[in-house]
Structure formats: structure tokens, C-alpha cells
Amino acid sequence: MDNRPVGTRQARDLLRVAFGPSAIAIAVIAAVVLVQLVIANSDMTGAFGAIASMWLGVHGVPVSIGGAELGVMPLLPMLAMVWGTARTTAAATRAGTSWFVIRWIVASALGGPLLIAAIALAVIHDASSVLIELQTPSASLAFGCVLAVHLAGAILGVGPRVTGRLLRLPYVPVWLPEAFRAASVGVLALFGLSGAITAGSMVVHWGTMDTLFGITDSAFGQFSLTLLSMLYAPNVIVGTAAVAVGSSAHVGLATFSSFTVLGGDVPALPILAAVPSPPLGPIWVALLIAAAAAAVALGQQCARRAEPLPEAAGKLTTAAAVGAAVMALLGYAGGGRLGNFGDVGVDQATFGPAVFIWFVAIGGLTVVMSGGLRRRPKARPVPSAAPPPPPEPEAEPDTLPVPTAEEAEREPEVVLEPDPEPEPEVEIEVEPEVEVEPVPPPEPAEPVEPRPVRAAPRDVFDFDDDPEAHYFADDDHTSDEPRRSSD
């Protein structure tokens, strides 16, 4: 449990959101630059300018060195920066956080990197006065790229935490989170299958990749080529996805699509050994399977909960549009100008629409086949209001009206009432008599012997007795007659 005051904890969270991911990126970049300068036995004159340029390059800002523009920046560091921003903002947004604090979190996620971008531009401008080859990039482009990268991370971090509040709004559909989840699954499926195809193509063209690694004999040079290939791997995977959905990717004059391959000069980067060589062959079948499988994954996510036709169509269309927009943004961020080779990237005019068509067509068919449609329940008739109670009968007057002479002379009409219907006879079911078992007579009680009555002891005096009755004469001793009172 955190025992710090709320203000201190929130201030620390805001500082971590504002400068945490950028500080980690600067530390890694500084370590790489210093190692490179030490190995090259160079002085530290342009170290700060190189660090600032590489930090802006992580955000997709083109770097110009010696008149050559490097606009194709690796996507892997940019995706790592988006992930870091999303993680820090999600950690700072706790359950029950107010909208006021959420606005401060988003503002910190954008304000800190913009401040660092301004400092980096100043450092590059100062270093360009010493290093003539280094040129200061456009300030508006630099601020725009930094803002876009960290805004995407802030939305990904804060969005899931406030989904419950947004669904309470009346104009937000309930299926919107499911559409975003389906879009993310479709994009990840397309990206992953394209990566598998890229790896398989590299295995097929293993000899070409070995030749590209052989342009340097030093172990450090080969390590640098391996590191560059890893950083540019997402760029190549996005190009493979463009070819899979029917669009095209190009490296200068070399163009690659599902149906034609036009050769041209390709940079000596080992990861580019995966590009197909003419003729294309049956590889386009595997590319179409990858696009269809990604669309099926998106459709299955949309069909997880059956919806009526309008809601299901809205969910599928939203998911396909979001997925196509994400892939188009990745294609734009992974392209640019590469010195004398020319433009590198995907065909933006067809890449996004092709992804949308695949997701809608195959995804919609998957929704129908997976049972993602249901009928709208019929509205039950609303019961009408209760009928008004019958009017109460008027109270009869206490006095009967006096009939007139004409009414008295008129004979009363006899109204014959119909005979009442005979009431149905009710059959009385007679329950069978239950035989009662005779109760046996009680056994005679044993006679109780009377207790013998003891005579009173002689020594007990009877105060009611006449003492003279105990006296007798001698002549009465032998007589059996009782003594008389006259004697």
C-alpha cells in the first residue's frame, strides 16, 4: 500500500509519464553512440548532435547527413516508444480517476516529449555549426511526428481504462469495444502471417543473405548489419502485407506486387534478401491465403456475440476501417526517401483500401457463417391503460314516488321470469367405512390388602374419656352387665 500523500504520488506519476519513455530511449541511444565513437577512435565532438538526431529519428523524423536524406526510419524503435508511452499512461490511470486527472496524464504524455524535441532541435542546430554535414530538420515536422507517436501511445494506454465511462454516453454504441478488439486481432494476424512469409522467403534466399553479410569482414560490422536488419524488420513485414492484400511495395525503381515483380537496385541490407526475384512464381497464392486468414480472424471476433443485421454491419465496418487505418499509418511511417535509391515504402493509394476490402468481404462472410447474425426481437405490444371503473349506482331515495291516477288505474304488467335452471346435483362421495378394531377391556386391577389398624397405645390419654368409667366395685367384677348410673 502506498502511504505517500495523493499530491506527491500524482506528481511522481506525471513525471514518469512525461519523461520516462524518452529518458530510457535517450540512455540507450547514448550508449550506442558512445560505443560507436569509441570503436571508430573518434573524438566526442558530435556526440550530442548524433544523440539528438537519433532520438528524433526514433519518432520518424528524417535525418539529413551530408546532403543525403534518410527518411526511411526503422519501425521497431517507434513501436517500442508507443508501447512505453501506453504502459506508463495506463499505470498512472487508476480505477476511478477523474477526467481532470486523466487530462493531466495525457497532457504530460505529450508535453514532456515535446519539450525534449525542442531541446533536441536546439542541440542539432548548435552542433550543425561545428559539423557541416549535420542539418537541422524542419521544426514543424519534428513536433508533428513526436506528437503523433506519443498521442497514439496515450490513447492506447488511457482508452481501455475509460471504456466503461464512454459506454454510458447515449451516442456511443455498445459494440464499439468489440469492434476495436476485432480490428486489433485482424491487424496482428495480418502482421504475424506476413512476418512468417518474410522469414520463409529469407530461408529460400539464404544465399543472397549470406552474400549481403559478406560485404564486411569485421565481426562488429556484421553485428551492426544484424542489428539494422532487426530494426528494419517491421518495415519489410509491412511491405509483405501490402503485397499480400493486392497492393504493391517499392524500393526505388524495384516494385513488388502479387502479380508482377520489377527488378532494380536494392540496398545491401540482409533483411532485404526476402524480396522476391522475378519471376514471382506460385508464391502469390500463399500471400492471398495470409490476407484471407487475417480477414477470417477479424470476422470471428466480430461474430463472438450475435447482433441484428444493422449492428453487425456497423461493427464489421468499424473494425475493418480501424484495421485499414492502422495498416496505412504503419505503411506511411515505414516509408520515406532513402538517399540515392529514391522513395521506399508501399503504395498508399491502394494499401489502405485493399485491407478494408479484404476485411469487409471475407470478414463479413465469416460473420454470416459463424452465426454472428440474429433476428431483432419483436416488440411486445404495450398493454393499454386500465378501463375506467363503472359508475357507482345512485343511492335510492328514502321515500318512494307517489303514483299518479293514470298509473294507479293501469294494470300492473306481469313479468314472467324464466324458470331457474336446475342446479346440477352434486354427487356426494361416500367414503368407505373404516372398521374399528375393538379395544380390549382393561385388565382388572390387583386387590389391595387393607392395612391393619394398630390399636392406640395404652399410655396414650384420652382427654374426652370420663375417668369414673374406669372405676368398678367388687360386686361388679363378676358381672357382665354394664354398670348403671344409679349404682
pTM above 0.85, yes or no: no
Radius of gyration of the CA atoms of the chain, in A: 53
Distance of CA 42 to the CA centre of its chain: 52
299-317 per-position pLDDT tens digit? 999 999 888 888 899 999 9
The b-or-e profile of 42-80 (16+ CB within 10 A means b, else e) is eeeebbbbbbbbbbbbbbbbbbbeeeeeebbbbbebbbe
Residue 143's Cα: distance from chain center in Å? 33
Rounded-to-integer distance, Cα 158 and Cα 93, Å: 7
Classify strands 68-70 and 134-135 as parallel, antiparallel or unpaired.
unpaired
pLDDT value of position 195 = 92
- Coil/strand/helix, residue 389: coil
CA distance 53 to 63: 7
Beta-bridge mates of residue 250: 255, 345
Q: Maximum distance among all alpha carbons in the chain?
A: 184
Half-sphere exposure of 61 (CA within 13 A, CB side): 28
Q: What are the two backbone dihedrals, phi and then psi, of residue 424, each rounded to the nearest 5 degrees?
A: -60, 135
Task: Give mean pLDDT in consecutive 10-residue pieces for the chain, a chain of 487 residues.
Answer: 60 90 92 84 79 91 80 92 94 84 92 94 85 82 94 92 83 89 94 92 86 82 88 93 91 84 82 80 77 94 89 93 95 87 88 94 92 75 59 54 57 51 52 54 55 46 51 49 47
Question: How far apart (Å, rounded) are the C-alpha atoms in residues 445 and 390?
Answer: 78
Q: What does the pLDDT look like over 348-378, one tens digit per residue?
A: 899 999 999 999 999 999 999 988 888 777 6
How many Å apart are CA 466 and CA 461, to the nearest integer? 11
User: Is residue 336 helix, strand or coil?
Assistant: strand
Partner residues linked to 373 by β-bridges: 307
Domain boundaries along the sequence of the chain: 1-168, 173-375
Which pLDDT score is estimated for 358? 94
